[in-house]
Amino acid sequence: AQKITQTQPGMFVQEKEAVTLDCTYDTSDQSYGLFWYKQPSSGEMIFLIYQGSYDEQNATEGRYSLNFQKARKSANLVISASQLGDSAMYFCAMRELRDTPLVFGKGTRLSVIA
């Protein structure tokens, strides 16, 4: 069963606008972590934001925020005030319990238009 689902293969957003990238996950564990990574064309996976399953507040890191809806098993990434440099692939990932590997979705390609 697919554990991470990203339903948007590609997204376009106007510069300075906000954009939401969708991610749903599947787990029966109570303890897990959700991650978003950015992968520019250079290939490096850049860590953006993390949300623990027990965190009551939505995570925020600068222009990035994670809209965590536990009952719906969704962890959408919101990027505010998009910049041209935000154009990249974005991956949602999950890690269940301790020391288990990250499981990634198939990614969403974001293109920011001037």
Residues found near another protein in the complex (CB under 8 A):
4, 31-33, 35, 37, 42-47, 50, 52, 91, 93, 95-107
Kindly tell me which of 4 and 112 has the beta carbon lying closer to another protein: 4
Kindly tell me which of 63 and 104 has the beta carbon lying closer to another protein: 104
| Shortest distance (Å) from residue 16 CB to another protein | 29
| Shortest distance (Å) from residue 92 CB to another protein | 9
Kindly tell me which of 24 and 105 has the beta carbon lying closer to another protein: 105
- Number of other CB atoms surrounding residue 55 within 10 Å: 14
